[in-house]
Amino acid sequence: MTNWIRSWGIVLFAMATLIWLLSVDWLVKRAIVTYGTELNGAQVELESADLSLWPAGLELTNLQVTDAYHPMFNSFEASKISATLDSALLLRRQVIVEQLDVIGVRMNSPRVRSGATNDQPIAANAGFDFGGLIPDLSLPDMDTLVAEAQQQVSAEVAEIEKEIDDIEERWRSNIKQVPSKDKVAEYRARWDQLSNASFMEKMLGAKELKSDVSGDLKLIRSFNQQLKSDRSLISTQITRAKRLPNAQLDRTMQAVGLSTENIAFVRAITGDQVDQWVTRAKTFSESLSSNTVVQAPSRGHGRWVTFAEDNPLPQVLIRRGQFNGALQLAASNMAVDGKFSNIAYPLEGYSQPAAVIINARDDGNASLLFEANIDHRQADFSDGFNLELMNLPIQDVSLSAGVENSLLLEAASLNFIASGHASPDTVLANVVAKLSDPRLTADADLATKSEYFLAETLNTLDSVDLQVNVSGALENPVVNIASNLDKILAAGLKSQISAQTTKFKQQFTDQLGEQTSVQLGTLSAKGDFLKDIQALLNDRKAAMPSF
């Protein structure tokens, strides 16, 4: 035995083991911080890591994960995380956590310094854009507006005139097919001759004459039907032409911001923010599965051949876990606890669906319930969630974009219910929110006219209701936003601009009427030729012999 075991070998092994034992905790900490920051897009910080081999376990102290979209906040932090690991599978580079306990959880907590990385700029307050809510009432020069409107009306009237001219030209061709006076006189002469002919001549002559007359009468009836249709069309087009100044007035008012239609204000204000949330959710859903294509290694550089296992396990698996701590939402500090199970990566690598349930409640009436089930066991995966946030107090929340707090939501109470389901082809989600007793303040020096208007309007309301529906293909879902705020803001806007609207309408209508009256008057007489054609057809029909 002593021949093949060397003392220097034992010393080297002992030194390597000692070095590994002394450095393994640092390596684990370094790996969590480095790879965690890379995956998160913002800093992941860890005070210490303690890895034990037998029994296998890992304990992390003071873990902080920065919110990549708001680097002055942590999306998650925990004072202690204890994990019980499967030692045998750890040697095979599979991290299987039998039990995970997370203590002292804090979510959405403020940071002392920014956690943004070098390639992640510090995000300013996203807020909402109220810039286009109230139109600019400083109108362009009225002569310029009227000139542009007259040009548009003239172009449309010219199209109508051309259409009527084309109809008139067609009738010039049709008239040539109508039997002339000489032909009608010939029919009458033939009819008179038959009155003195023999019975047989009458029979044969009448039959031939009737055939000739019937062909022309059939043509006249066809022209009468076409004439009726053309008369209706020309009448409709002339009526439309007469209404063009008023239609142009409406278009011009909308262009200069004096339209009082029920515009989708809420979509205009919240659309960008909602689209960002949908994009983030879609990106998160796509990242849950490892759908990368594995390239075949070159010959001689492959891995050892392994055989399929009876119960295969993914690269990372947390069989079960629980946590407790605090959740800061708006003006509520909630005590939170939750459970989760079968959290795997990749998700499709495990035979059980992942599940998460979170409960939170503060000392008042505010509460939160979140449930999610993620099932990627098959290609046709199925993910679903349900979120209920009730009686959340809101205080001093800035609604303005940028760093200036020009519009402040001083107080309100929020009820928020959301549910959704995603599959490889479709996504369906529904959000219903109710903001009760809102109280807003607009800064006298910083607030825009739109923000003042919004504050005045919302301060008179008992509640603001919002409904968001997301549906369609997962790659490009359709987002619909509806709110009672649209009609309320539209009514308020109408009262704000009513004086400007009345004055603008009168001046615009008078000037445009002067500019277009001659052209419209000429157009009104364009259809008179149809009366002459109708008289001609009636005259020819009446002069035909009757059988």
Residues of the chain above pLDDT 70, percent: 75
DSSP 8-class letter at 470: E
**298 occurs within a structural domain:** no
**402 occurs within a structural domain:** no
Which of 392, 312, 295 lies closest to 352 in space, CA to CA?
A: 312
**247 occurs within a structural domain:** yes
How does the average pLDDT of the chain come out, rounded?
78
* Geometric angle at alpha carbon 325, from 323 and 331, rounded to 5°: 140
**Does 293 or 233 have the greater pLDDT score?**
233
Residue 351: per-residue pLDDT:
81
Residues 63 and 154 in one domain: no
Q: Would you say residue 495 has pLDDT above 50?
A: yes
pLDDT grade for 1, boundaries at 50, 70 and 90: very low
Residue corresponding to tokens 């023999």: 198
Residues 158 and 248 in one domain: yes
**41 occurs within a structural domain:** no
CA distance 335 to 105: 9
Domain coverage including residue 158: 150-252+509-543
Residues 155 and 110 in one domain: no
Residue 380 main-chain phi, psi, to 5 deg: -85, 75
Which of 539, 545, 536 lies closest to 186 in space, CA to CA?
A: 545
Q: Does pTM top 0.75 for this prediction? A: no
**119 occurs within a structural domain:** yes
Which of 227, 208, 231, 209 lies closest to 219 in space, CA to CA?
A: 227
Q: Would you say residue 447 has pLDDT above 90?
A: no
Secondary structure (DSSP) of 63-110: EEEEETTEEEEEEEEEEEEEEEE-HHHHHTT-EEEEEEEEEEEEESEE
**82 occurs within a structural domain:** yes
Residue 456: per-residue pLDDT:
83
pLDDT grade for 371, boundaries at 50, 70 and 90: very high
Strand 56-67 and strand 44-53: the pairing is antiparallel
Residues 160 and 200 in one domain: yes
Residue 301: per-residue pLDDT:
52
CA distance 117 to 103: 27
Q: Would you say residue 501 has pLDDT above 80?
A: no
Q: Would you say residue 362 has pLDDT above 80?
A: yes
Residues 198 and 117 in one domain: no
Q: Would you say residue 13 has pLDDT above 90?
A: no
Residues 107 and 189 in one domain: no
Calculate the dihedral angle through the C-alpha atoms of 217, 220, 221, 227, rounding to the nearest 10 degrees: -170
**Angle formed by the axes of helices 142-175 and 529-543, nearest 10°:** 20
Boundary (domain end) residue, out of 88, 105, 123: 123
Residues 189 and 119 in one domain: no
Residues 156 and 119 in one domain: no
Sign of the dihedral through C-alpha 65, 66, 69, 73: positive
Residue 399: per-residue pLDDT:
79
Residue 388: per-residue pLDDT:
96
pLDDT grade for 259, boundaries at 50, 70 and 90: low
**134 occurs within a structural domain:** no
The number of folded domains in the chain is: 2
Residues 199 and 237 in one domain: yes
Residues 163 and 216 in one domain: yes
Residues of the chain above pLDDT 90, percent: 16
Residue corresponding to tokens 């001609």: 536
Residues 156 and 111 in one domain: no
Lowest mean pLDDT among 185-194, 216-225, 285-294: 285-294
pLDDT digits (tens, 9 = 90+) for 157-214: 888 888 888 888 888 888 888 888 777 777 777 777 776 666 666 666 667 777 777 7
Residue 54: per-residue pLDDT:
72
Residue 242: per-residue pLDDT:
83
* Cβ atoms of residues 328 and 107 within 8 Å: yes
pLDDT digits (tens, 9 = 90+) for 413-434: 999 999 999 888 888 999 999 9
pLDDT digits (tens, 9 = 90+) for 301-348: 555 545 445 556 777 888 899 999 998 888 899 999 999 999 887 777
CA distance 60 to 46: 7
Q: Would you say residue 282 has pLDDT above 70?
A: no
Beta-carbon contacts of residue 362 (< 8 Å; ≥ 6 apart): 332, 333, 334, 335
Residue 307: per-residue pLDDT:
45
Residues 168 and 229 in one domain: yes
**522 occurs within a structural domain:** yes
pLDDT digits (tens, 9 = 90+) for 375-410: 887 777 888 999 999 999 999 888 776 666 788 889
Token digits of residue 14: 């002992």
